[in-house]
Chain A
Amino acid sequence: MNYSELVGFMVKSLVDHPEQVEIREIEGEKSTILELKVTKDDIGKVIGKHGRIARAIRTVINASATKTGKRVVLEILD
């Protein structure tokens, strides 16, 4: 399962600077951590009002992670 690609697909279509989207996947034993980095101007576009967009992205990731039984955490870095 390639989470970076999934997150990249969603995030890149939301931001103004898709070329500056960076995603790092840190694989652990029980969980995978995804670190997402976008430019300062775009950060609101991936978090949204009251974190609505970030929550939707996390829900989508979790749905695709159910089968693997692994926890996937999305961290948005600033």
Chain B
Amino acid sequence: MKVIEVEGRTSDDATKKALAELGIRDASKVNVEVIDQGKSGIFGFGVSRPAKVRIYYNEGGEDVGDKVREILETLLNKMDIEGTVKDIKEGETKVYVELDSKSSSGLIIGKKGKTLEALQFMVNLMINNATGSEKKIILDIEAYRDKREKALKKMSRDMAIKVVKSGRPLTLEPMNPLERRLIHLTLQNDKRVVTKSEGQGIYRKIRISPSSKK
């Protein structure tokens, strides 16, 4: 993200001038902050002051969001899976992509989100190679991430209750770092159990044990 400051007769004028200078046609691609609305002298009386705006814009010309859309839609097409990019929200360090598919969202998500994870990983690599952008791309479809988060929270609480009742530790299935983190966080305030990760790489999983104090 880069910044320039431009002056003009009015704040709109200054913004237009800045966009022309940067060669950006779409005003929605930049963030405009008005520093000074400016003041025009009435009939030559009074002091006139130019308006001043600060423009935040992305360097490099090529829009990461557009490239993400292009790569994803081509990829889905080549996979012979029906799906489109519904929405892209580009932030400072992350790009949120919402996919949409009438008939194949289950296929795009895969078992326990495996396919969605793989697609996300591939798109990140491909975008990184194509544009040099280091933004993290996050894929979602039918609010899957949110649902999965809720399901994991509930499951981990249920498991904690089981552990407390039986007094025996339980090991969950292997999960990725993000999901493990979520479970550690969910159970960190539960004084009756302790959580620990064990195993290596993709096999790393959480073990919930009763806390040792009686």
Contacts and interface: CB of A to CB of B under 8 A. Distances in A.
Interface of A: 1-2, 5-6, 9-10, 13-14, 50, 52-53, 55-57, 59-60, 62-64, 66-67
Classify chain B's interface size: 20 to 34
B32 interface: no
B115 A60 contact: yes
Contacts of A63: 79, 81, 107-108, 110, 115, 118
Given A6-B79, A50-B201, A60-B118, A14 B126 contact: yes
Given A13-B129, A14-B129, A59 B75 contact: no
Q: Which of B71, B75, B130 has the most CB of A within 10 A?
A: B75
Contacts, number: 59
A56 B121 contact: yes
22 contacts: A1-B80, A6-B75, A9-B74, A9-B75, A10-B75, A10-B122, A13-B126, A14-B129, A53-B121, A53-B122, A53-B125, A56-B117, A56-B121, A60-B115, A60-B119, A63-B79, A63-B81, A63-B107, A63-B118, A64-B81, A66-B107, A67-B107
Contacts of A53: 121-122, 125
A53 B130 CA distance: 16
A57 B115 CA distance: 10
